[in-house]
Structure 1
């Protein structure tokens, strides 16, 4: 007879703050990741420390912030007021301790719950904080949230401010690597939102004079814009708007109190509504909302008293009012645009003419597409009931109450054998598979019509749920998984062309990746190494000594499901697809898929270096 489990006081265990954060890191920093994605935990740690320095700048203390990332060590130094010396330990190690509960000091701050630096401290193998003020300084050093040593100097010549250094803990973040491109992008957002602030990162200076106008200019090529950016500012609001000549979809960058709300929220919804309402009233025509917003590229930043976010990582605003006696977020944004955007359009007839022509063009295209769109939707409905192409997962990007919503991934793969291996070895909660039959169509230079006419593209668009923009995107990571050979490279380029042509904001917002898969397996009876390059293969052979067995994987279909699980699990290696700042989207499409065959061949050969080296070795 089995013994009944006793339920006594001994069973009830109270976790201290460090243990709770270390046991449930996702609650505090979203997903963990290895640094290949912009929303991986190591960047959230940098952000949490930086937010405190930014809040100092907002309060008028310290115009410069210095950041250094050397290997795995991050150091952030500000020249603000410095943490009160007697509270240096408490502020980074006691939950619900911080200066932001006193709303007089931090009226419109982001980090209101006093969790940020505590989470960084608990998730770092090394964490040091040092504060200098009034000619004195205090410092404390921790490991995994445990206090190791403390110093207090009665006399210090250091400039006032706070310096935090930390190393993310490898027990939590496995095999991570900081990518400077992601850190630089984050810092750019900070300076756009705080004109006048200077951030120095590893010696490079980040500064913005024109706020959100600079954001749109840096993110988009001048020749891709239909008209000069409309840049409007109010007390607690700033917006920037233009339309793209080449992009089909809508693009929004939204911020609350300096926080990049990547998943929008009440302010972004209100902004989209207010643009349509103002433009309809200005022209006196009841335009279709989708025609007004088609190809829009815009940004909005608002400041709200004590904002409510829908998740700890603060990616979606839930607040409906501005705080205090101010109106609702919706009314505030609507009234602002009604006055300022309307005035701008009256004063700039050339812009208002271009905008009207753009809307009429969108209306014409929509009407031309309506028949084919209906057919495609009917087809998609039928096939979504038995969509052979999509093996879906249980959690999606919209489920932001679920801890691992940021891990949601769609693998786009080719051929039954590769799809079969991924499908059998995937995590059914967060990983979905979309399988292509052969090479997709080359969509270079084609119109949006082809997305509906081509069954594969239409089903892919439906699977991602991006027909009307990426606000309701179902997966955070879209991963192209093809063989590492010439055919695989070509499929890769055809898919990147499809996304560049019709959904470039997926790439701009860092959702598109290439799956790296191993080229070799090197093993003996005791150990197995999967190698992604010739160098890794040589290192594995040296490590195993003797004569290990070497297998070369020629295609994804050759890798068995019980092995594939290693390459799409904790040790997944993703290569982000990023836009080239020097080229417009049109120029990039022309380069990859236009008539300049020699350039493209050279590009493919250079990017297949590993493959070609391998073939030479075997010969």
Structure 2
């Protein structure tokens, strides 16, 4: 039996809905996908879309955008001008429908595309939603021999429609507005957004000129691609591709389901293959599809099917070899699709993905047919593609095996059952205090072990000259026991720069076990080379440690100067001369012995005591210069190394160990 519950005021009059401007102003994320900068940017795109639709229908070919200092924006086109006057059919003014009514506009009529066959702004939300979310909006339209003006503030029209007879050079629409900080948390749209957006629109709207003026910097930009996506691919390709650019164009009619209306789709596809650069971009009704959807599925299906079929037909696979994946093709592919349809199903209002089943099917079938013909008619190019895709595939498989192997080798704590040879740990678990000394050889290990502070200083010896990591393949690097041991002791994984970076990367600086990583080698030619090889290893496998300022070099003294009462250490010729100038009595001077021959007290004083040691922090300031130096000293630049030795060799003659 139901209990009597006291009425708490929740009745039929408790349900309310947002009206007018509040539908957008209080819930911007519903329309724009976000109430932050991304949503604000999308509000700009909604206005831009309307101008693009006009230009694509053949009404004007110039669109001008201005980014003002006060964060306001304007868009001007040379289209027919938005109809704003009285609409007898609706018995309302068109300006109310366009700027004050969500889901209204000139793009709906029976999906027939009477006004715009292929429209970017098909949802009819744009002008109204952006107006509602603005601090103010001014609209000026030139059409029918008149100039029309509207002014809005925070979603409300002020002063109605002003209409005056006017002479003008061209019809068109000019809209200026300022996004409202009461609606969006951030309205400071970066210049890069405008640059990227207008460039992308120029790519997919061949021949339309997009002009951008940035008031903040006083800079002007212009974007135009006369041949659309083909010119864009030429630009991306940089003449480095190993195939010619292919361009296919077609149209089709169909429906997503039997009970759904028929619609038209137009598609353009352009691609080439390139070993240095890859790119996949999809556009639909001029909107960049960040997440792809239907075109992405079509491209992947068609390329994998046709290339796999060709590999089998030409006997390219090894016996029992696994089939290629799209990742193997994508590694060397530059491809852009540009499609339009009279009915579009976007995943949401932000238009970053489309879901039309018919578009996917039509594009897949068309692309399969074109690729089949292309592979038959272009034997030389298709052979290059097949060989490269197999190289990518086998490289990916090797990388995956290596990644699993690395993960296995580097995982686990350094306990008694998982010990690194001759690694001597310190006592503290406080990472902010822990230091690891990478020392040269077992003899240095002995003197450093006796000379250190065991509370916070740990030691790992490098046995001989380690592998040159700048020249070696990753597979060889991770078979090297010394390198794997060093990485395990560091504890932070590895950073791998390959096409398969996502599969390979295990790096996490939060897992680094040390506050300082200190390279400590003898002050002689061999010591310098070992130091350089260790630095090269860190630079290639864990470069973030250098960027984060975690890597140091311990300076070893070059000279030991002994007097009756005191011993001095000099770290350079200049310092030696300065010390000698201050000594009045007898003294002996000798070049410092190797670290392994130093007694523990000397090791502590000169190299390990934080109060008296000299550490050089390895700085990441000039990464390009670092790369050049490493390439010169350790890379494949043999001629450069020869020239460097000829030019600078005399500086190091006294250090050459010649017996």
TM over 0.5: yes
Q: For this pair of structures, how many residues does the alignment match? A: 422
Name the counterpart of 1:229: 245
Name the counterpart of 1:200: 211
C-alpha contact (below 8 Å) 2:496/2:504 kept by paired residues: no
Distance 2:212 2:173 in 1: 16
Q: Deviations over 1:351-389 (max 9, x none)?
A: 223212212312332343353344468899999xxxxxx
- TM-aligned CA distance change 1:378 to 1:94, over 3 Å: farther
Matches within 5 A, 1:219-618: 219=236, 221-223=238-240, 225-235=241-251, 236-246=266-276, 251-283=279-311, 284=313, 287-289=323-325, 290-322=327-359, 329-330=360-361, 332-375=362-405, 466-467=502-503, 591=624, 594-596=627-629
Q: Deviations over 1:181-237 (max 9, x none)?
A: 2211111111111101111111422100222233334445444x4434333333411
Q: Which runs of 5+ in 1 are unaligned?
A: 35-39, 323-328, 384-414, 418-441, 470-477, 481-485, 488-493, 502-513, 515-588, 599-619
Name the counterpart of 1:17: 20
Name the counterpart of 1:209: 226
C-alpha contact (below 8 Å) 1:88/1:138 kept by paired residues: no
Structure 2 residue matching 1:150: 3-state secondary structure:
coil
Distance 2:366 2:392 in 1: 26
Matches within 5 A, 1:40-119: 40-71=38-69, 72-86=71-85, 87-102=94-109, 103-119=113-129
TM-score using structure 2 length: 0.56
- TM-aligned CA distance change 1:457 to 1:219, over 3 Å: farther
How far off is 1:108 after superposition? 2.2
- TM-aligned CA distance change 1:466 to 1:101, over 3 Å: farther
Name the counterpart of 1:187: 198
TM-score using structure 1 length: 0.59
Q: Deviations over 1:70-105 (max 9, x none)?
A: 121211111111111321232011111100102322
How far off is 1:448 after superposition? 7.0
Distance 2:32 2:542 in 1: 29
Structure 2 residue matching 1:268: 3-state secondary structure:
helix
- TM-aligned CA distance change 1:416 to 1:266, over 3 Å: farther
C-alpha contact (below 8 Å) 2:275/2:331 kept by paired residues: no
Distance 2:412 2:366 in 1: 44
1:155 maps to 2:183 = no
Distance 2:243 2:304 in 1: 18
Q: Deviations over 1:413-436 (max 9, x none)?
A: xx989xxxxxxxxxxxxxxxxxxx
Moved more, 200-209 or 48-57: 200-209
Structure 2 residue matching 1:232: 3-state secondary structure:
strand
- TM-aligned CA distance change 1:495 to 1:113, over 3 Å: farther
C-alpha contact (below 8 Å) 1:241/1:297 kept by paired residues: yes
C-alpha contact (below 8 Å) 1:278/1:337 kept by paired residues: no
Larger radius of gyration: 2
C-alpha contact (below 8 Å) 2:324/2:390 kept by paired residues: no
C-alpha contact (below 8 Å) 1:253/1:298 kept by paired residues: yes
Q: Which runs of 5+ in 2 are unaligned?
A: 86-93, 214-219, 252-265, 318-322, 414-429, 433-467, 511-515, 518-536, 549-621, 632-659
How far off is 1:13 after superposition? 1.9
Distance 2:198 2:347 in 1: 24
C-alpha contact (below 8 Å) 1:276/1:293 kept by paired residues: no
Structure 2 residue matching 1:303: 3-state secondary structure:
strand
How far off is 1:155 after superposition? 0.8
- TM-aligned CA distance change 1:342 to 1:591, over 3 Å: farther
- TM-aligned CA distance change 1:194 to 1:150, over 3 Å: same
Structure 2 residue matching 1:595: 3-state secondary structure:
helix
Name the counterpart of 2:146: 136
Q: CA RMSD in A?
A: 4.3
Distance 2:538 2:39 in 1: 28
- TM-aligned CA distance change 1:292 to 1:170, over 3 Å: closer
- TM-aligned CA distance change 1:314 to 1:460, over 3 Å: farther
- TM-aligned CA distance change 1:334 to 1:127, over 3 Å: same
Structure 1 residue matching 2:395: 3-state secondary structure:
helix
Distance 2:62 2:509 in 1: 38
Moved more, 344-353 or 191-200: 344-353
- TM-aligned CA distance change 1:317 to 1:367, over 3 Å: same
- TM-aligned CA distance change 1:126 to 1:446, over 3 Å: farther
